[in-house]
């Protein structure tokens, strides 16, 4: 049975998978600075025998095993956030230490762990001479931490590479996920009138405008409703940056600003969220969705507005059910089906371009962006089994 062969190979590659992950954890890879880790993963994919390995115009690495007519994509973003206060780390954030069943370091869970398991899965599929109806792609994508999904907006819209099915390998604690809330960033600008601080009644204080706006946003957050089936939960809105400034420290500020993090449940859109803000905040000058653009490590400038659509996939969809079948054949039980709290590249693939998407990844969501980040070696093995099994499961009785 193919599941037994896959399981045996993945167990045999336990140390290989952990060491491959260790190698890429040791390489810092902030958004826009991923070149060195992409080159190491390129080496790993070639060593594993992938049929095709290439780097696209933005700097994403794309590997392929098999040559079927349908595209099944496993994706891991390989950029990370920075380490923050190093005094909170017990080990060097880039140690990549493998010890007592754990891989230590920044990105071990979020989300280089998925990349490590993907390399092993590709190697297993190649050794099994997989020749089914899927071309199985493994994508190692860039700049996700800065702008979720932009890498896939580029791949689909500029490279014309659109999957039939998509699997995010963001951490799920090896559970099967089928959606998450969307998100967006909103900037609210206020314009006051400056005057001397000794006579504030002569002016209009933009700091007070922003403060009243912040209280209105707090109230709005409490009024947001969950989605109809309560799978994704309620949307949220929070003030994350607030400032005001004027001509001097002795002058009433004439410029104020609120920066908002807005999480979007099913049915909420960029337009509806902006209108809500306009309806509750008074005296604003403008409300805008900021635009992100940055030069990638490859030297390509690309960007988009900071809006990342909500997505989910029905539990009875063939991709979800294929994931359930793969898991049951490997582990003899049904996986927990759930959702992420945070955002992933699914916002572009599923949210923008309606490609059926699920998630399955090693490591825990709570490890993301935290000091002393780790992932379990056992999770890496489980994930490698699942990725190698999924194309076979999707072909069963279909």
- Catalytic residues, which ones? 79, 144
Element spanning 127, H or E: helix 112-127
Separation of alpha carbons 28 and 342, rounded Å: 22
**DSSP letters for 315-352:** TTSHHHHHHHHHHHHHHSSPPPEE--SS--THIIIIII
Separation of alpha carbons 71 and 53, rounded Å: 15
How distant, in Å, are the alpha carbons of 41, 104, 126 from that of 130? 21, 33, 6
Separation of alpha carbons 115 and 338, rounded Å: 21
> Which residues fall within 8 angstroms of residue 193, CB to CB, at 6 or more apart?
203, 204, 252, 254
Q: Which residues pair with 134 in a beta bridge?
A: 70
Q: Which residues pair with 244 in a beta bridge?
A: 256
CA nearest to 312, candidates 228, 224, 392, 237: 228
Separation of alpha carbons 60 and 272, rounded Å: 33
Separation of alpha carbons 273 and 78, rounded Å: 30
Q: Which is it for the CA torsion 118, 119, 120, 123, positive or negative?
A: positive
At residue 354, φ and ψ (nearest 5 deg) are: 60, 30
> Which residues fall within 8 angstroms of residue 303, CB to CB, at 6 or more apart?
147, 150, 291, 292, 293, 294
Element spanning 165, H or E: strand 165-168
CB 175 within 8 A of CB 335: yes
CB 312 within 8 A of CB 339: yes
**Residue 263, class by beta-carbon neighbours within 10 Å (0-12 exposed, 13-18 middle, 19+ buried)?**
buried
């Amino acid at each position: 049975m193919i599941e037994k062969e896959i399981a045996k190979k993945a167990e045999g590659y336990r140390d290989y998978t952990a060491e491959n992950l260790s190698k890429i954890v040791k390489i810092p890879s902030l958004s826009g600075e991923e070149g060195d880790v992409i080159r190491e993963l390129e080496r790993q994919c070639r060593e594993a025998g992938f049929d095709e390995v290439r780097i696209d115009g933005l700097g994403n690495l794309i590997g392929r095993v098999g040559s079927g007519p349908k595209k099944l994509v496993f994706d891991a973003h390989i950029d990370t956030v920075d380490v923050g206060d190093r005094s909170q780390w017990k080990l060097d954030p880039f140690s990549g230490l493998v010890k007592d069943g754990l891989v230590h370091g920044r990105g071990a869970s979020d989300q280089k762990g998925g990349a490590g398991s993907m390399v092993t899965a590709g190697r297993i599929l190649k050794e099994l001479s997989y020749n089914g109806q899927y071309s199985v792609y493994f994508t190692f994508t860039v700049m996700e931490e800065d702008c979720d999904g932009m890498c896939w907006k580029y791949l689909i819209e500029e490279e014309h590479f659109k999957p039939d099915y998509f699997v995010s390998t963001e951490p799920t604690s090896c559970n099967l996920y089928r959606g998450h809330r969307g998100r967006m960033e909103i900037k609210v600008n206020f314009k006051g009138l400056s005057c001397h601080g000794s006579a504030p009644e002569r002016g209009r204080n933009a700091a007070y405008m922003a403060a009243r706006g912040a209280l209105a946003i707090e109230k709005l957050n409490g009024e947001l409703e969950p989605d109809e089936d309560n799978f994704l939960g309620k949307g949220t809105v929070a003030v994350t940056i607030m400032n005001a400034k004027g001509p001097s420290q002795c002058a009433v500020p004439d410029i104020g600003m609120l920066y908002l993090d807005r999480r979007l449940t099913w049915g909420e859109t960029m337009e509806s969220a902006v209108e809500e803000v306009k309806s509750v905040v008074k005296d604003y000058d403008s409300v805008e969705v900021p635009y992100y653009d940055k030069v990638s490590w490859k030297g390509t400038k690309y960007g988009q507005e900071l809006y990342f659509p909500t997505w989910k996939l029905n539990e009875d969809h063939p991709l979800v059910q294929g994931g359930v079948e793969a898991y049951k054949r490997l582990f003899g039980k049904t996986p927990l089906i759930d959702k992420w709290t945070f955002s992933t590249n699914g916002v572009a693939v599923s949210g923008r371009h309606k490609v059926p998407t699920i998630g399955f990844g090693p490591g825990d969501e709570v490890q993301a962006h935290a000091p002393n980040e780790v992932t379990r070696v056992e999770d890496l093995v489980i994930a490698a089994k699942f990725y190698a099994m999924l194309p076979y499961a999707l072909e069963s009785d279909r």
